[in-house]
Amino acid sequence: AQSVTQPDIHITVSEGASLELRCNYSYGATPYLFWYVQSPGQGLQLLLKYFSGDTLVQGIKGFEAEFKRSQSSFNLRKPSVHWSDAAEYFCAVGRSGGFKTIFGAGTRLFVKA
């Protein structure tokens, strides 16, 4: 069955520190993978997506993610976190040919000064 797992319910990092949010997926074919961010009081926003090609994907706001097929992972990274990055982050997996995107439960990021 298709599924997305975000192992960390919440993470706290210091401002300026590096960040890695984990995402593991289970999918029968080559997946399309997405990361979204949901800031307090705001709608979901797409950070980046992968569907083919270079396995290291650059997104908005300085985020990047790497697709590792052997590990069924698509971890989100940022080299230096800003206080404004505090939000909830969702990983999702989907495919073409019909809308069947599955979202993870989310990881809430806290940033401390």
Could you say whether residue 52 binds other proteins (CB under 8 A)? yes
| Closest CB to other proteins among residues 52, 70 | 52
How many residues line the site for other proteins (CB under 8 A)? Answer: 25
Strands 19-21 and 10-14: unpaired
Least distance between other proteins and beta carbon 8 (Å): 13
CB atoms within 10 A of CB 113: 6
73/25 Cα distance (integer angstroms): 6
54/68 Cα distance (integer angstroms): 11
User: What are 107's two structure tokens?
Assistant: 């990881």
Contact 89, 73 (CB under 8 A): no
One residue of 43, 54, 70, 113 binding other proteins per CB under 8 A: 43
Least distance between other proteins and beta carbon 62 (Å): 19
- Which residue stretch of 11-19, 20-28, 48-56, 72-80 sits at the interface with other proteins (rule: CB under 8 A)? 48-56
By C-alpha distance, which of 94, 109, 33, 96 is closest to 68? 33
Q: Which of residues 59-98 bind other proteins (CB under 8 A)?
A: 90, 92, 94-96, 98
- Interacting residues toward other proteins by CB under 8 A: 4, 32, 41-46, 49, 51-52, 90, 92, 94-96, 98-106
